[in-house]
Structures are given as C-alpha cells and as structure tokens.
Structure 1
Amino acid sequence: MLKARYFFKGQYKALKIATIGAVTAAFSSIMVQSAMGANFLPPEMITASGTTLMIAATGEVKATPDLATITAMTSAEGTTAANATADNAKKMTDLLANIRNAGISNDDIETRNINISPRYRYEQNKTPQRIGYQAQSSIQIRIHDLSRVGSILDKMVQANVEDLEGPNFSLSNSAKAEDEARLQAITTARSRADLYARSVGLRVKRIMMISEGQLVRPMPLRPMLMAAKSRTADSTPETPVISGQQTVTITVNVAFELG
C-alpha cells in the first residue's frame, strides 16, 4: 500500500491508495443484482479502504394461510326508497342469522357498504323515467377455522345472497414468515459474498450496509366459487374449499468490504 503525505502547519493528512493485483483491479467495485432489481447507495457514498461488493439476495418462505374472508351482498328493489330499504334489511337480517348460527361472532362480521340508488327506464328520444329504487348492502366475514369455510359458504347461499366474493385466503400474522425470509436472504447474501471474495483471492472483512429492498406479501388466494344463485338450501355435497400455500418474499441489499 502506498502512502502520500501532505504537510500543512506541522500537521499532515494521510491519503491511502488501495492497490490490489492486476487480476483483481477490475473488481474494485462489484455490483450484483437480482432479477427483481435493487437500489444501492452509489459506491462513492460508501467509505471503504478495500474492495466494495454489493449484493441483492432474496428469501422466500412458504406459509399455510390461517384466515379466510368472504364478502356477501344482498339487494332489493322497490317503488320507494323506504320499501327497497326494508326488503333489503330483511334479507341482510336473514343472512346474518345464518352466519351467526354457523358460529361466526360479531367480532368477525363487518358491514362494508350500504347503498340506495334510483332506478330509471331509458327509452330512445325520451327523458329517463324513474321507476323505483334499489337498496344494497354488503358484509365481510372472517373465518379462522378454515375447515369450516365450505359449510359457512353454503349457509350464506341458503340465505339467498345476491353476490358472493371469496373466500380470500391470507395470513393473519405474516411477521414470523417475513422474519424467516429475511434470515434466508441475509444467509444467501453472505454465502454469495464469500464466493465472490474467494474467486478473486480476497475475503469478506465486514458488512458495510444492509437495507431491505422489496417485500412481497402474498396476494389473497381466490379459489373459483360457484354462482350463488345456482345453489339451493338442500344442495349437496358441501362446497369443497382448499387454501393451498402462500409465499412471502423479501429482498435485502447488502454492501460488503473485501480485503
């Protein structure tokens, strides 16, 4: 290593110029990016006396969903807003009764939307004529025992709902899976750093920076569901539902100093 000293008023500053062999000169700044891409600090913003190696690594963990959500809607039409609302309220009351009888508590039932809108008749070259009103309301329920999703779906259909969306499967708490993915990503990054260092006759001296890049939470899974109107109260067998698995993905960006 060469040292050039500059003296000023009895003091000096040391400028260290790192040199490595001709073979490793081309690797003074190495950047490796995953296919998903990564954003790093520019090399000049990272202080290092040796070679800087930047790596993006991804960890993936599969987890079994433990929560299902279902959205159901009822609707009714009437000549007045009051009539439509009353009829729809009765339908929703019946639906809620079926859901509660299936063992779903109020803590897991949430009203999502209530809507009342006029209905019009449209004829060519005529002013639209209001002919009545439509009332709609929707709820979302959460099911923690996934083995009961099929039977609860059937209970909802028996209440003559107008529309069903779901079930959507998800993780009620994804923190554990995310931490496992982080550990996996860091382990992969360190393993790659050791490989690159050995390939150029160096070793990993220290980690200079770690940043979390891309966190990909699993999208809710939506198995195909039959049309609600085609079901009847005595339909058999019970609707089959399979939750499958979901993948939690995390990318970390790590800067290593080699020497």
Structure 2
Amino acid sequence: MNKSTIAAVISSLILSASLAAPTLAAEVNFPHLETIGSSNIVVEADMADVNVEVIIKAETAQAAKKQSDIAVAKFIARLQKAGVSRKLIQSANINLQPQYHYEKGQLNKLIGYSANRRVSVTVNDLSELNSILDSALEQGINRINHIALKSSKEAQYIKQARLAAIKDAQQKAAELAAGFGEDLNGVWHIRYFDQRPVQPIMMRMSAESDNYNVAKSYQQGQVTIQDRVEVTFRLK
C-alpha cells in the first residue's frame, strides 16, 4: 500500500468518525431526565451451601489418597442415610502433592504426600446444618471451608427486588420532573444488569481449632437481595 492510498484511508476514517459523532449526539439532543432506581430486600435464610474438606498427610501417595477417599465416601454415605439426595452432594477430584523437607545447603528430602478432597452439600433445611457438620467431622473431614446462607425463595425475591427498583426509578423521575415544573414523555433508554443476591459467608474455620461455636454461627442468618436499574426519560 503506497502513501497516497494510506492517506486516503485515514481521511476516510476521520470523515466517518466526524459524521457519526453528530448523529449520536443528535439522538440525545432533547430534554431528558436520568434516574437510578434501586432496591434492597433482606430475607431470612432457610438453606445453606456447605463446603468441607479432608486433608490427609501420609508417607506414600497411595496411603494419602486411600485415607482421603475413605473419609469422603463415609461422609457421603452418612448424608444419604440421613436423607440428603445425592444430587445435592458434590465431591471434587483429589489434589495430591508431594511434601518436602527443605534445609539450606542440602537437597530437598521427600517426607511424604498430602491429599485433599472437597465436598459441597446443599442443605435445604437449616435446622439440619449442625448435624451435617458433626457428621463431617466424625467421618474424618477435618476442615470446614465456609457456609453460605441462601433462601429457597430466591427467584421470587429477585423478581420482587427488580420491580421495586423499577418503581423507585419511576417515582424519582416523576418527583424530579414535577419539582422543576416539567412533565415526563415516556422512557427513552433503560440500562440494566442482573444482580446476584448477597449470600453471607457465616464461617471459615478448621476443625483443628478449639475456638469456634458451630451452633451459634448460623442462627438467624439473613440474605440481602439488591437490584438496580438506570432509566432515561424524555421530558415534554
């Protein structure tokens, strides 16, 4: 491509940009009012997602894997015996790593292997949470990573929050327009992004620690559901 051709292309791009800018500006070149509608709903939690983990250290990789697999299998079997559906239980793949002793000036010495597996359980009845945690610890699970509280009526509350945010945007727009002696003339633009409920993380602890109280950690839990919508109204 020669210099004259390049110059022609650049000139064409500049001309296109200059023509497009006024057109875009003309689209919003009218009296308008922008509002942001928001909502915040706090509901009681009635279920939870629990994530636990077993961490095993042994002299051989086979022994570490075997012990971690047994702990997970026993925990799942106990959950199913207690009436928890297998669909509500997810067991992650194993993570197996060699363990070394490091000493300055010497070669690293292999001292064993560490194996860990995680299990996630959806608890539909919050009153069963404590017994599930106890079962995990009794079957060899030695770490409770977190407990996220949820609501079984999440979809219903999300819709409720969205409608509340829309109503808030409309009310603000009507009050602002009236305050300045103007009238609304319909909606010109709506900007919206899906929101996710704020699920509180109730605890993060190790079963090796003595400084925790399981029973008190998940009582009276609440979930916050928020929504937001940005609206541009035309003014008459």
Candidates 146, 152, 155, aligned match of 1:175: 155
Q: CA RMSD in A?
A: 2.5
1:68 deviates by 0.8
**Partner residue, 1:82:** 62
* Unmatched tracts of structure 1, length 5 or more: 1-41, 232-236
Counterparts of 1:179 and 1:44, CA distance in 2: 35
Indicate the structure with greater helix content: 2
Higher relative contact order (CA 8 A, sep 6+): 2
Amino-acid identity (%): 26
Q: Cα distance 1:143–1:124, how it changes in 2: closer, same or farther (>3 A)?
A: same
**Partner residue, 1:220:** 199
**Partner residue, 1:100:** 80
* Unmatched tracts of structure 2, length 5 or more: 1-23
Aligned residue for 1:211, secondary structure, equals strand
> Does structure 1 residue 246 correspond to structure 2 residue 223?
yes
> Does structure 1 residue 257 correspond to structure 2 residue 195?
no
The residue type equivalent to 2:149 in the other structure is F
Contact 1:207 1:254 in 2 (8 A): yes
Contact 1:58 1:188 in 2 (8 A): yes
Contact 1:99 1:152 in 2 (8 A): yes
The structure that has the greater radius of gyration is: 1
1:76 deviates by 2.4
**Partner residue, 1:13:** none
Aligned residue for 2:93, secondary structure, equals strand
**Partner residue, 2:27:** 45
Scaled by the length of structure 2, the TM-score of the pair is 0.77
Counterparts of 2:196 and 2:61, CA distance in 1: 42
Counterparts of 1:196 and 1:161, CA distance in 2: 58
Scaled by the length of structure 1, the TM-score of the pair is 0.71
**Structure 1 consecutive aligned stretches of length 4 or more whose deviation exceeds 4 Å:** none
1:197 deviates by 1.9
1:61 deviates by 2.1
Counterparts of 1:57 and 1:180, CA distance in 2: 13
Indicate the structure with greater strand content: 1
Candidates 209, 212, 229, aligned match of 2:208: 229
The residue type equivalent to 1:71 in the other structure is N
